[in-house]
A and B are shown apart, each in its own frame.
Chain A
């Protein structure tokens, strides 16, 4: 299972990187989002999969799954969301101000 997840993460990272390298602003945001998902999956995979029940002490079981990666991912999801929201508004403003979403044209001029 871990191997399968790692391969999935690899594929998602490839797709995300390809999108980030493209010219259009919206694609770059989409790519960053995909990379974010991939990293979260990688984090939970690194804690070991399917080794116990959910980390809730009410259940009378011998072992739980690793709770630390879960706490880390929870933080990461929220931060990812905040950054995505900000970047989206930034894209919107950039498009409003400069009238283009082509990264090759958004490179500043010589004198700046």
Chain B
């Protein structure tokens, strides 16, 4: 039952093309697709009471049981929170897309297949307990996101954005896989739960830190943390429903999910704290600063997403200190930080989803997305303005919206960190509240710019391409629901806290008892430090917003050469150029060069292995005696070989080669091999005839015109080859490991009825070799025939032309 719902998006994706083909003229395909996430959402809601009471539900689906690869799912607070977000926001996004995507112009079947694929993959990620299965779904989210970003594939920028997203997230995915494999090696299990139950083994292992770094690489690339966040703004080339769903509410939170899931394993170590909290803080500041520079509304929201993800990441890092302190007063303080992370995660999905939809509406109604063309849209689009105002003020952290609550908790958490005094925090810890405060000011300013430069001020219809009017109700429905949630959560935060966030917290920090300290969220918590900081944010932020005309241009003129994108592009073209020049350098196309590589490799490997493995042992004791005749023959062979080498004349070279062959057959006579001598004699004769036949057509041997260095390399390599073979053969003669098996073949008469042992071997004992050798000969003959014949055919063709 459970898996039917988890795999429902993937299964139903199969039917989308049929529905599109038969019903699209009448009904928008999205209406059918809408059934999928809503039914999942309703199904998952049933788990809330049980999970809130502290239960977890385990499901198993066997896949490859012999390799221990099974789909194992635990429904606990954290996965339920994500599951509800995915299906809930998914339903709203599909309603929105029904009105956003044109039934006539767009290839809707592609769109909904990709979207359902993504939804299924994302549900798989959050409900997997088996690490490798989790990785599989993780990569599926990357692939489906790639397809969605390049949905309008005829645009160059879409293709580039998709490629960038794929390269970066898959890089992180591979890192994560490496980290997972290390974890599996350490704990000897695939299950995350069993790893948490068996912590001591992992935490004392050598691979603990490498595994942590690899897993974090995966989480940081997926969640667009510094410096991997550059793919997210380019992914804004996707249709707006996609940006709203993938790039604000769900996929970018997969990294957050991973960090939260791994906190019980890695949390409590200083490296984890500094990386997660530190990178999160840097991302927060970087994202909020860069968002100020943007003029495109979607790009501004993209950088704001990066910044908010940094905030959540930072809170998770701070929250991991609870693992260090364990149950107790300080532990509880940092438990609240993790709680704040979850709370902000939820809040961000609501307000950022609605803001993206608002931008989509503006884009849809005005045909533009650049903030410099807008102004005064409030008068024509009042409902859109209201939604944007709610979302924007919540993002800025103002009451009475939910962003205020989570931002207060964020300030409280960073204030606590500055006083924690562990992991070398000391006075550096003071940087946490300062950076957080400064980044919050920037956040406030870009939220103001987003809302009031677009909707406030003078209405200038002449700058817009279309006649602007309010969006249809269907488009407004989803952002309105999200905006309503933003307000509702402000007034009733504890309902959400009790039923959804607290169980999720229990699964991130299973070791902390929650009963003595109620995790209550209160809108008014007395005049404390956090409230003063918020007042400061508003005052300084308003000042900056009022004077924005003076400084915003300076921000926008920030040099391109210093951006991360610039370095990314440079690195990409640099690696391409490097590999190209490297390949061109050694792949020259010259046969001689390749032969030199092969011969040198042969020499180096053989000589070094002989030396290193003590293979040089010479044994001359079994040598046969040498007669004068042998010496003469050897000398004659060397002389004729040298004649081939130095011959300036073709016929001399060929005759010398023939002489060499006849002398080889003389050796066969000496060595008592009559069959060999016969064959060698005949073959040598035929070969010489063949050479003589061909040589009439072949060019004359040229006096070598090669340069001296060329000759010198050849000389060195050929002498090295000769020496290697000699040394190898000599030392091989020194090692006789066992007796030869020849004595068996001396029974040739009894076994095969033959008196000639060599012939018996050739046709009886090892007849297969002979058969294949005959095939070689016939293939060569056919080849020769074809080469000669084909030539005449081509000539005829040329003549007719």
Q: Which residues of A contact B (CB under 8 A)?
A: 1-27, 30, 33-34, 37-38, 40-42, 44-58, 64-68, 70-71, 73-75, 77-86, 88-93, 95-96, 101, 103-104, 106-108
Contact = CB atoms under 8 A, between A and B. Distances in A.
Contact of A17 (B599, B732, B749, B762): B599
Interface string B35-64: 000000000000000000000000000000
Looking at chain B, what size class is its interface with the partner chain?
35 or more
Given A30-B644, A85-B784, A108-B589, A13 B725 contact: yes
Contacts of A1: 623-626, 630
B745 interface: yes
A82 B776 contact: yes
Contacts of A33: 657, 687
Given A13-B722, A18-B718, A89 B787 contact: yes
Interface in B660-712: 660-661, 664, 667-668, 670-676, 679-680, 683, 686-687, 690-691, 694-695, 697-699, 701-702, 704, 706
A35 B630 CA distance: 20
B757 A49 contact: no
B787 A52 contact: no
A67 to B, nearest CB: 4
A39 to B, nearest CB: 9
B789 to A, nearest CB: 11
Contact of A101 (B624, B698, B721): B698
Interface in B638-675: 638, 641-642, 644-645, 650, 653-654, 657, 660-661, 664, 667-668, 670-675
B624 A2 contact: yes
Nearest to A19: B645
B733 A50 contact: no
A56 to B, nearest CB: 6
A47 B758 CA distance: 14
A103 B591 contact: yes
Contacts of A86: 780, 783-784
Contacts of B791: 93, 96
12 contacts: A14-B723, A22-B706, A41-B667, A45-B729, A46-B732, A57-B754, A67-B745, A68-B742, A68-B745, A77-B679, A82-B776, A85-B781
Name the residue in A10, A24, A91 with the highest tally of chain B Cβ atoms < 10 Å from its Cβ: A10
Interface string B259-283: 0000000000000000000000000
Contacts of A64: 672, 742, 746, 757
Given A15-B718, A74-B675, A77-B679, A23 B592 contact: yes
Given A8-B637, A21-B595, A57-B748, A37 B664 contact: yes
Contacts of B524: none
Contact of A55 (B634, B726, B758): B758
Interface string B769-801: 110010011011101100110010000000000
A3 B730 contact: yes
A88 B691 contact: yes
B614 to A, nearest CB: 20
Contacts of A96: 697, 791
B381 interface: no
A16 B756 CA distance: 34
A54 B678 CA distance: 13
Contacts of A27: 701
Given A10-B722, A86-B784, A93-B791, A67 B757 contact: yes
Contact of B697 (A52, A68, A95): A95
Binding site of B, secondary structure by majority: helix, strand, loop or mixed? helix
A45 to B, nearest CB: 7
Given A2-B733, A8-B638, A11-B722, A44 B668 contact: yes
B420 interface: no
B755 interface: yes
Nearest to A80: B683
A108 B654 CA distance: 29
A73 B615 CA distance: 26
B679 A10 contact: no
Give 7 nearest A-B pairs by CB, closest first: A14-B722, A10-B726, A82-B780, A17-B718, A107-B589, A18-B718, A55-B757
B757 A12 contact: no
A23 B706 CA distance: 8
Nearest to B714: A21
Binding site of A, secondary structure by majority: helix, strand, loop or mixed? helix
Contacts of B687: 33, 81, 84-85
A74 B679 contact: yes
B631 interface: yes
A14 B719 contact: yes
Contact of B699 (A3, A30, A101): A101
A16 B725 CA distance: 12
A60 to B, nearest CB: 12
Nearest to A59: B755
Contacts of B596: 21
B527 interface: no
Contacts of B623: 1-3
Contact of B690 (A12, A42, A52, A85): A85
B590 A104 contact: yes
A89 B622 contact: no
B184 interface: no
Contacts of B702: 24
B691 A77 contact: no
A2 B26 CA distance: 92
Nearest to A23: B706
A59 B757 CA distance: 12
A5 to B, nearest CB: 8
A84 B690 contact: yes
A75 to B, nearest CB: 5
A71 B638 CA distance: 26
Given A6-B729, A17-B599, A75-B762, 8 more contacts: A11-B722, A18-B714, A26-B699, A30-B653, A30-B654, A46-B729, A64-B672, A74-B675
Contacts of A38: 725
Nearest to A42: B729
Given A11-B638, A57-B749, A95-B698, A85 B780 contact: yes
B773 A53 contact: no
B724 to A, nearest CB: 8
B485 interface: no
A23 to B, nearest CB: 7
A44 B671 contact: yes
B761 interface: yes
A47 B644 CA distance: 29
B715 interface: yes
Given A2-B623, A42-B729, A51-B624, A21 B758 contact: no
B657 to A, nearest CB: 6
Given A44-B673, A68-B740, A4 B773 contact: no
Nearest to B680: A77
Nearest to A6: B729
Contacts of A44: 667-668, 671, 673, 676
Nearest to B697: A92
A89 B694 contact: yes
Interface in B13-36: none
